[in-house]
Structure formats: C-alpha cells, structure tokens
C-alpha cells in the first residue's frame, strides 16, 4: 500500500483549510469526511445527538451527497487544488507502530464508506474531527424531537432535513443563540431560550438579534421534563434558586415540538487518543483536548489537531476564522512546507480566542463553561431526581449508576436489595469510568457513549467528591464509529494472512499432531 | 507491621478465586493488586470455560471448573452472567472437520461428553450459522460468563467475608529468611505472611524472581471485537472459523482470534494494549461465520495481555524452597479455570496437596529449558504470529 503524504480527517472549516493549504504547499493530500452520514448511523446518535426524529429523505444518499457538496464551496476549491476527497467516509481507527504493535510498518488510519473499509498509511495526519453535543438527560429526553445543537445545525444545514415547527433551546451561550438564529432563518418558530443562569450567557450581538424578534428568555430556569406521547408536545420548566434548587410554584409548560440541547460542545478526541496523543483537561475548551504546540502539533510526531477537535469555546463558535487559521498553521508547519509557520503574522490576536469575548460580558464569563454545565446538571438532578435515565442505550438511571448496580436483565427474581458499591469504585484510588461502565453498562450501547459520557463523568465526580477534571478519561476504542461487520471486513486480506491464521496460539500443532 | 495468613499477589481471577476460597476456609487473606482488580486479561478475555480437552494435564481442572461454574452466582452472591449451555466447535473446512471427528473420539475416551452434530443439528443449535458448516462437536457441561463482572463478584465476595484487597499497590519484594517466606514488601509498606501466592499473570517471571524462582513465561497481546446487542441467537460458546467467542446475555457478539504479538512487561504499571487493523480480519471471519447478522455494527474492540508458558499449560506449584511460596500461572486460560484453580491453591496452602489432579503442571518440567527458549521459538518481544 502506498503512503499518503497528508491525510486530513474532517472537511469542516479547519480541515478543508488545512487540506487546501497543504495541497498548495505541494503535498499529496487526502481529505476524508463522514458526511453525508447514513441514516443508520444517524439513528445511533453518531456523531451528534440526533434523537429519534429523522426524516426518511436522509436515507437518500445521492440527494444528501449533493446537499453536502452544495453547502460548502470550499469542497470544490479543495478538489480543484488537487485534494483527493472521500465524502461519506468515516475514519474509524488510527494505528501506529508502538510497544505491542511493532509489527505495524507505519502509521495508518482505517476508513470505511457504506460498502467497504480500507487502511491508509500516512506521513502526516491532521485531525479536524470537530466537536459533538454535550448531553444531559431529563425525563422525556427519549421523545422524538429532543436533539443536540450540533445535530440540529447539521440537520438544518447542510442536510436540510430538520423536522420541527416550534423550537425551545436549552442553553444561552453562543451555541444556543446561533442555533436559535439558524432555526429562525429556516422558518421555525422559536418558543424560547432557557438557561439556569440569570442572564443570557452568549454574545450580546447575537442575543439582540433574537431579542428584537421577541424571543423569550427563560432565565434561572431548568427542565422538569419534556412532555408528549412519542413526540415532544411541550417542555415543563421550573425556576431555580442560586443553589439550582427548583422554586415551588414556578412551573410552566412551553408548547413546542423540538427541544435542542445547546449546553456545550465536546471536542472529538477519539482519534487523537487512539493515535497516542497526550491529552489534558481544559475546562474552558470543552474538557479533554490534545496537548498542542502553537503550530497545532500534538505530542505524536507528524500528527496535528485543528479546529474544534482541539478545543472549542464561545469565541470559536462565533468566529470560524479561528478554526480556519488553525488549519493554515498546521499545513504550514508540515516539514518541507514552503511557507514556514509565522505565528505572529497569522495573528496571535486572531489565535487568542479570549480576545473576542473578554471585556464584552465579564459577568457571564465569570461563570465558566464547566461550572455552568455542572450547574445545569445540578438543576436537572434537583428537578428530575436520580431515577432519570443517564444511559439511554442500556437503560441505566443516575441512581443505578452511582450504586454500581448490575443491569436489570441480571436481577434475580425477586431482585435482591442492592447495597451501593460506589465505595468499590472510589477505593481503587481514581474513580475510573471504565470500571463503572463495565459493571453498570452505562456507555456500552450503540451510541458509543456519546449521549452519556459527560454526564457519567460528572455524576462520578460528584459522588466521589472530586473535580470532574480528576476523573480519568473513559477509554475510546476502535472502531470509533459503529461499522457493520461486513463493511469492516478485510475483503482485501492477503492470502498469507488467510493461511497463517490461528484462532488461538497453536492450532496447527493441534491439527497436525 | 501489617500481616496476614496469606498474601496473594495479583488481583486477576486466579488470585481472586484463590483469595475467596481461602477466606471462606477461615484464612486471613490480603490480595495485593498493582492496579484495579480484574483490569487486565481477567476482564478482557472471551469469557469461555471449556473442557480443555486437548490438554490432558488440565482436563481434571477444567472438569471441576465446569462443575463449579453454575454454582458461583449463589456462592459469591453476585452475578457472573454464567450461561452453561455448552460449547460448539463448528467445522467450516474439510481439514477442520477431519480434525474434529478425530478429536471427538479422543475426548469421549476422557469422559468428556462430546457429541458429533451433522450440519442440520448444528443449525438447530445455531440457526444463524453459515450454510457452509460441515458439522461440529458439541460439548455439554461448559459455557461462558462475563469476565469483568466475574472478577468483581469475587472481589466483593472476598470483602463480604472479611478478606482484604489492596488495589493500586505494587509488590516490590518478597522476603525470604532461612528459605522461608516471611513477608512481602509493597508500595503500601511490608506485610508479614507465612504464605505468599503468586498469581501475577504476565508479571509472573518478575514476581517469581523476587522469591528466587525462575519461571518461563512469555507475554503476548491478543484482540477481541464486540458488536451491538443483537437478538438472542445462541447460548453455546463457539470455536470455529478461526474465532472463539460467545453471545452475551445482553446480546453482544464477542469474538476473538487471529495473530498475537509477543511482548515484554514491566513488573509494575499497565502494559500497553492497543488494537490493530486485525479487527477487520476478525470482523470478516465473524461475518463469514454468522452471515445472517453480518450487517450488524461492530461497536468496539479491545486487547489483553496474557502469558504463555513454553508448553501452553499452566504452572501450579507449592515450593519446598522457599517454603510458603506458591506460584500459579494459568497460561492464558485463567478465566475458564478460575473457580477450580482457586480451590487448588486453597488446598495447596492449607493441606499441601490438591484433591484435583495437577500432575504435569509443576515448574520442574521446564528444568532443562535454558534461558534462550524465547529466542528459539521466536517468541521475543515484537515477534508476530509465531
């Protein structure tokens, strides 16, 4: 297999920018993007929290491919620059020679489209995998019509397949405000924006555009439940005090058919993690992010991370130029790139995200991103209780999680009273979500933990009395997207592999002796 | 100084099972585990408990294990997810069919209940299996369980009975005075004990050496894939099409197989366990074995590090020198055997002998091996599929 010089994962702003620049620098470049996603993948809430209202048109691959290409003229620009494009193709794995994998000859990534999978060796890897929805649960969150902001925005543009008339947005940061504005552009009614904070958190200019249209802001409020039969009919809100406790008598039901969680974005670090990049916890950038140099280089030689996948905050949500610049910087940092990276010229000011928001709304930013998300969770637990499902795939409630209960299908009949085993997890020294996962099954379902990881970590932190940054990162494993067996299959397997295959260590001894 | 009757080094299922049976028998036991119990191979394996029919010295141990498994949920008081529906080895090639026919006859002579099934009978047992199946051998009194849950069940049961488990605690030395074990040095301080049992898995050589015992083991990394939960297809474990695996109670298909990579491990710390593109080859074989569900997604994969002895058979021995030192390595089959292995260790510690026959499993069988045995077999770290 030949080795590609530059592989870019993700054709968003940062990835496309990196790919075009690398091609202009004379590199041979392959750009891979998983959009258009298959309906089956979206139905597994991958990679965004799409929820269970998905229009059948999403199953029309040809139509969706057209819409993806139309929605971003930079894709055509990339093609013209000589970038090899693989759309509708996910990158499900990243492998490199290391202790315990010395037989691998060179680093490679695993790709898959709807039909087949294949490996691609690379010299340089630029991960621009974006970010996904930060999800918290509440009663009724499984109803059709509840989805994440990243999902809602993708369904509006480029898929043009958001089925909904009347939207409530949870979260008043830039993400929520932008989602609300996009919804208005697409002709949806906006029933309001809800936040536990007393004031709108996000950019004042964005808010004023919404306020002008009479958009209600439900301040200091949280969600009791989403109501409806199988579809959302409304959302019951309740006011909260400064300790995030519901205030009696303040409940109200807001009619709507769509509830959008805009509580934050989580950088997609799966591939960086698999590649062995060092990570650290950056609360203001969405949590765990790769450690990077000013030229976007990670701790692994030849591997760069750009865009939201390296961390995303309010400034980056508002201003796509930051991601774009990161892509340029990485491409120019590639060894043998003709233009050497000149951080100052590219703009320390532009790369300094804080310059955009600092000084604009100091009160809102004093309540940082993670503490705001923690406040939301506290308010939801106070309003909904601990018997609310946290892992929808496996049906695990908050209480079952912190009690480390085995799944219900293992209950004896009658079920034994279960004494909480949380101390078991805590006494290991560092409450590890993987252990909690394996015993309760939270995070082991088809969404690969996308809808519950962050809440599980937060609940574990809370139960252990530690900061969420002290909870170890739950593992990521290939494939980082669900890939059908027959697609993942090595149809390109060499004869030598076939002949010298042992189911265990020594079948030929057994067979021939 | 901290003290116990028995210190068990290693919190995998072998160590935990030993600790459980010893605690139940009234001994004061401390398990010392460098990380988290059941974190390594014990929590990562395929979950199968078979009759080990091709490995004569292990047959009695495997028989006892398969007899004990159905009683373990009640014994421990926590679920292991044991399913005792037996095991099926389907033949997908003429070569394998010929081998299985011959093997079945051999196994039957060992009093292992092994029945030949023709293709129709195989399909009754596993309707989703490939049409290319040529028949297979079905062994009753075998089955599978959930590795992680089993390890944790043992750990909770040990503590319920007053045993102690020290996690995130590494053993740094074994004190031997006048050819007797007297204490274990750990990162939590020394523990005085008359009996020390090494159940250290891939770290066996390191731990054995602390007591002056050289143990030939070679660690290796193996891989497994897991699918989404699918509707119930079969209860038996499967061994065929180059794979071994099972369907969990939740419904996931969990299968492994294929090339391993030899490696080395440190005495402490967690060995790297990356997956490789091999998961595609495993997926291919699973799709070939169960074509009816080949469109179901693979959801995750993982790898584990196991240790192999030179003849792939366990080492179980209570030493005369140093006295009080017992060593066991299950040689990559620890999970399936664990309920019985623990009882063997209990008996070796308390009585000095095992009521389950373990002839042929003593360390002394490797006396003439020499120090370069790994090179001779190409089992050095980095060697692949050898």
Give the DSSP per-residue string, A139-169: TTTTSBTEEEHHHHHHHHTTS-----SEEEE
Q: Using CB atoms and an 8 Å cut-off, which of residues 2-61 of chain B contact chain A?
A: 36, 39, 43, 54
3-state secondary structure of B364: helix
Q: How near does any CA of chain A get to the CA of B234, in Å? A: 17
Q: What is the pLDDT of residue A366?
A: 39
Q: Which of A219, A174, A229, A173 is nearest to A192 (CA)?
A: A219
Q: Using CB atoms and an 8 Å cut-off, which of residues 53-112 of chain A contact chain B?
A: 93, 95, 98-104, 108, 110
Q: Which of B148, B227, B249 sits opposite A485 (nearest CB)?
A: B227
Superfamily of domain B2-70+147-217+310-385: FAD/NAD(P)-binding domain (3.50.50.60)
Q: How near does any CA of chain B get to the CA of A85, in Å? A: 22
Residues of B in contact with A417 (CB under 8 A): none
pTM: 0.95
Comparing alpha-carbon positions, the chain B residue that sits nearest to A430 is: B168
CB A239 within 8 A of CB A221: yes
Q: Can you tell me the ipTM of this complex?
A: 0.95
Q: Which of B131, B115, B138 is nearest to B236 (CA)?
A: B138
Query: Which residues of chain A, if any, have pLDDT below 70?
Result: 1, 338-367, 412-417, 428-430, 506-513
Partner-chain contact A500 B303, CB within 8 Å: no
Phi, psi dihedral angles at A95 (to 5 degrees) = -135, 145
Comparing alpha-carbon positions, the chain B residue that sits nearest to A488 is: B280
CB B313 within 8 A of CB B57: yes
Distance CA B235, CA B85 (A): 6
Domain coordinates of chain B in residue numbers? 2-70+147-217+310-385, 85-140+218-307
Q: Is B336 on the interface with A (CB under 8 A)?
A: no
Q: What is the pLDDT of residue A415?
A: 59
Q: Which of A103, A446, A505 sits opposite B384 (nearest CB)?
A: A103
Q: Using CB atoms and an 8 Å cut-off, which of residues 73-92 of chain B contact chain A?
A: 78-79, 81
Q: What is the pLDDT of residue A365?
A: 44
Q: What is the pLDDT of residue A416?
A: 66
Q: How near does any CA of chain A get to the CA of B11, in Å? A: 12
Q: What is the pLDDT of residue A338?
A: 65
Interface probe with A: pick from B41, B227, B276, B384, most Cβ of A within 10 Å = B276
Partner-chain contact A485 B294, CB within 8 Å: yes
B164: enclosing H helix or E strand: strand B164-166
Comparing alpha-carbon positions, the chain B residue that sits nearest to A448 is: B299
Residues of A in contact with B260 (CB under 8 A): 502, 505
Q: What is the pLDDT of residue A509?
A: 42
Distance CA B355, CA B334 (A): 19
Structural fold of domain B85-140+218-307: D-Amino Acid Oxidase; Chain A, domain 2 (3.30.9)
CB B139 within 8 A of CB B243: no
Q: What is the pLDDT of residue B79?
A: 94
3-state secondary structure of A274: helix
pLDDT at B159 over 90: yes
Q: What is the pLDDT of residue A154?
A: 97
Interface probe with B: pick from A100, A438, A487, most Cβ of B within 10 Å = A100
Q: How near does any CA of chain B get to the CA of A504, in Å? A: 6
Q: Is B72 on the interface with A (CB under 8 A)?
A: no
Q: What is the pLDDT of residue A339?
A: 60
Partner-chain contact A432 B36, CB within 8 Å: yes
Interface probe with B: pick from A46, A503, A506, A511, most Cβ of B within 10 Å = A503
Q: What is the pLDDT of residue A99?
A: 80
Comparing alpha-carbon positions, the chain B residue that sits nearest to A479 is: B300
User: Tokens standing for A179?
Assistant: 């989602």
Q: What is the pLDDT of residue A298?
A: 97
Q: Which of B36, B240, B263 sits opposite A100 (nearest CB)?
A: B263
Q: Which of A398, A147, A156, A125 is nearest to A277 (CA)?
A: A125
Comparing alpha-carbon positions, the chain A residue that sits nearest to B36 is: A428
Is the peptide bond between B25 and the residue preceding it cis, with omega within 30 degrees of 0? no
Interface probe with A: pick from B77, B103, B298, B313, most Cβ of A within 10 Å = B298
Partner-chain contact A478 B261, CB within 8 Å: no
Q: How near does any CA of chain A get to the CA of B367, in Å? A: 23
């Amino acid at each position: 297999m030949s080795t590609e010089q530059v592989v870019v994962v993700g054709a968003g702003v940062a990835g496309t920018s990196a790919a075009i620049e690398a091609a202009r620098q004379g590199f041979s470049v392959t750009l891979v993007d998983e959009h258009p996603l298959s309906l089956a993948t979206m139905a597994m809430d991958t990679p965004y929290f799409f929820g269970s209202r998905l229009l059948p048109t999403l199953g029309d691959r040809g139509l969706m491919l057209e819409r993806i290409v139309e929605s971003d003229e930079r894709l055509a620009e990339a093609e013209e620059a000589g970038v090899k494009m693989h759309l509708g193709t996910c990158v499900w794995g990243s492998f490199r020679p290391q202790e315990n994998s010395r037989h691998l000859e060179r680093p490679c990534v695993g790709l898959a489209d709807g039909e087949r999978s294949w490996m691609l060796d690379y010299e340089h890897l630029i991960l621009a995998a974006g970010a996904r929805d930060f999800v918290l649960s509440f009663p009724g969150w499984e109803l059709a019509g509840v989805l994440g902001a990243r999902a809602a925005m993708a369904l509006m543009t480029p898929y043009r397949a958001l089925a909904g008339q009347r939207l409530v947005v949870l979260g008043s940061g830039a993400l929520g405000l932008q989602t609300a504005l996009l919804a208005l552009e697409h002709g949806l009614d906006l029933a309001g924006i809800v936040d536990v904070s007393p004031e709108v958190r996000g950019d004042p200019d964005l808010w004023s555009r919404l306020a002008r249209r009479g958009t209600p802001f439900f301040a200091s409020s949280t969600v009791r439940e989403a109501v409806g039969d199988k579809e959302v009919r409304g959302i019951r809100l309740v006011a909260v005090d400064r300790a995030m406790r519901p205030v009696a008598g303040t409940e109200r039901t807001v009619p709507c058919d769509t509830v959008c969680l805009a509580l934050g974005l989580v950088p997609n670090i799966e591939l960086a993690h698999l590649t062995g990049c060092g990570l650290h916890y950056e609360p203001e950038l969405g949590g765990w992010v790769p450690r990077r140099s000013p030229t976007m280089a990670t701790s692994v030689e030849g591997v760069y991370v750009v865009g939201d996948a390296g961390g995303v905050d309010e400034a980056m949500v508002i201003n796509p130029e930051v991601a774009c610049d990161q892509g340029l910087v990485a491409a120019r940092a590639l060894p043998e790139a003709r233009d050497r990276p000149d951080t100052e010229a590219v703009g320390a000011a532009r790369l300094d995200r804080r310059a955009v928001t600092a000084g604009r709304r100091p009160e809102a930013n004093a309540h940082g991103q993670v503490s705001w998300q923690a406040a939301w969770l506290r308010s939801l637990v106070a309003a909904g209780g601990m018997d609310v499902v946290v892992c929808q795939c496996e049906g695990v409630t908050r209480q079952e999680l912190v009690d480390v209960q085995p799944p219900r299908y293992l209950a004896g009949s009658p079920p034994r009273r279960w004494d909480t085993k949380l101390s078991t997890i805590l006494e290991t020294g560092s409450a590890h979500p993987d252990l909690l996962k394996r015993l309760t099954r939270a995070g082991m379902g088809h969404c690969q933990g996308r809808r519950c990881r962050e809440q599980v970590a937060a609940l574990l932190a809370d139960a252990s009395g530690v900061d969420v940054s002290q909870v170890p990162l739950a593992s990521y494993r290939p494939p980082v997207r669900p890939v059908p067996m027959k697609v993942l299959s090595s149809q390109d397997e060499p004869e030598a592999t076939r002949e010298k295959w042992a189911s265990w260590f020594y079948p030929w001894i057994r067979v021939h002796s | 100084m901290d003290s116990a009757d028995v210190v068990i080094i290693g919190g995998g299922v072998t160590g935990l099972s030993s600790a459980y049976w010893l605690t139940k028998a009234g001994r004061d036991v401390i398990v010392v585990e460098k990380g988290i119990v059941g974190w390594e191979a014990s929590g990562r394996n395929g979950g199968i408990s078979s009759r080990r029919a091709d490995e004569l010295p292990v047959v009695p141990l495997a028989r006892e294990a398969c007899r004990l498994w159905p009683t373990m949920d009640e014994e421990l008081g926590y679920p292991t997810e044991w399913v005792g529906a037996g095991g099926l080895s389907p033949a997908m090639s003429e070569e394998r069919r010929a081998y299985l026919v011959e093997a079945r006859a051999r196994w039957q002579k060992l009093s292992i209940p092994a029945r030949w099934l023709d293709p129709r009978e195989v399909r009754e047992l596993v309707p989703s299996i490939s049409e290319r199946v040529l028949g297979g051998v079905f062994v009753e009194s075998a089955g599978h369980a959930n590795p992680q849950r089993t390890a944790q069940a043992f750990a909770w049961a040990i503590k319920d009975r007053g045993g102690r488990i020290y996690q995130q605690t590494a053993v740094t030395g074994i004190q031997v005075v006048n050819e007797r074990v007297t204490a274990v040095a750990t990162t939590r301080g020394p523990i005085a004990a008359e009996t020390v049992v090494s159940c250290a898995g891939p770290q066996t050589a390191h731990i054995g050496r602390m007591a002056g015992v050289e143990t030939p083991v070679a660690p290796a990394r193996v891989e497994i894939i897991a699918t989404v939960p699918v509707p119930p297809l079969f209860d038996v474990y499967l061994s065929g099409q180059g794979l071994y695996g099972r369907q969990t109670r939740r419904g996931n298909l969990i299968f492994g197989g294929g090339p391993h990579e030899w490696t080395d491990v440190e005495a402490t710390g967690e060995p790297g366990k990356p997956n490789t593109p091999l998961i595609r080859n495993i997926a291919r074989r699973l799709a070939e074995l169960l074509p009816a569900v080949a469109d179901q997604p693979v959801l995750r994969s993982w790898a584990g590090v196991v240790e192999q002895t030179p003849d792939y058979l366990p080492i179980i021995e209570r030493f005369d020198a140093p006295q009080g030192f017992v060593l066991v390595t299950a040689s990559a089959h620890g999970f399936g055997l664990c309920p019985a292995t623990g009882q063997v260790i209990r008996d070796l510690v308390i009585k000095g002998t095992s009521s389950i026959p373990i002839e042929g499993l003593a360390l002394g069988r490797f006396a003439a091996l020499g120090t370069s045995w790994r090179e001779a077999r190409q089992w050095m770290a980095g060697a692949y599929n050898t």
